[in-house]
Amino acid sequence: MGILWGMNMWKIKCAMLLGTFFLWTSGAPAETEALPDVSRATLEAQVVRIYDGDTIEVDLGPDHPKTIGGTRLSRYERVRLLGIDAPELSVPEYYAREAKSLLFRLVAHRTVRLEVVCDNERDAHGRLLAYVYIRKREKWIFVNGELVRSGAADLLLVGTERYEEYLRELWVEAVANRRGMWGRYPGTVTVADIYADPLRYALEGITIRVKVKLTETSWDGLYIICEGGFRFFIPKERLPRFEEGGRLEIVPGVEMEVSGILRWTPVGPVVEVWDPIQIHRIGGVP
């Protein structure tokens, strides 16, 4: 019981910390909106092992390049897919096996192309960081993006990632449609459900139905304050998307049904809304 309680407390503390960090950083727009381009992938390798949903081992061949950017290369390299974070197998976390299985189906024992970013060649564990591409049916697939789009991986954006905006769009699509890891708890929940079992839903994908009390405009975006202290937050740089689609006609008393990731902050539970596709319904104006 003590171990379980410790794990639950760790989860809720992480949810609060990540929620605060997420809200603090979301106001800064990405510096690049580049699309994945296989022509930037200068390394070719054979995949020899799949460790989990975001890490593989590759064989660069006997005549492999000795360096790339500022790092030396070995024939066999453990590669961490850049910009994403799949569930951990060691715990194991929910959807970890499915994420590994998807990556296996995409690249196992196949020849891939690796795009390594200058000055961001390795992580703290010495793994080569790369965007991975696989060719299937005369078409190049951006593997990092496919994992995010399928809900098999979350985003892991440290600093400015080359494909940050592209990956974020895929992430929003996966969350809005409750794919993969974001569909652990299907159906619709209420504020009462969240408070009744806060640990269950922390950092999980949910679709919540809630009544709006008021809206507040802040320097970083729009806060939609709802019953029970629940909040939606739309980052400032994303507001034009909602204005164009007429999705900001939100008044007190209206009922909203929205999908997103639940985070606990010092002011209570919050779901960030990055795109109108996360809003499934607005209605019930008194």
Supply the residues annotated as catalytic.
Answer: 80, 88, 127
Backbone dihedral angles phi then psi of residue 174, each to the nearest 5 degrees: -65, -45
Rg (CA), the chain: 21
The contacts of residue 285 (CB under 8 Å, 6+ apart) are 251, 253, 254
Beta bridge partners of 282: 256
Cα-Cα-Cα-Cα torsion 236, 241, 246, 250, nearest 10 degrees, comes to -30
Amino acid identity at 219: W
Residue 195, SS3 per DSSP = helix
**Residues 7, 56: Cα–Cα separation, whole Å:** 28
Q: Hey, CA dihedral for 221, 224, 225, 231, is it positive or negative?
A: negative
Going from the C-alpha of 139 to that of each of 40, 153, 178, 286, the distances in angstroms are 16, 22, 27, 52
Contact 263, 203 (CB under 8 A): yes
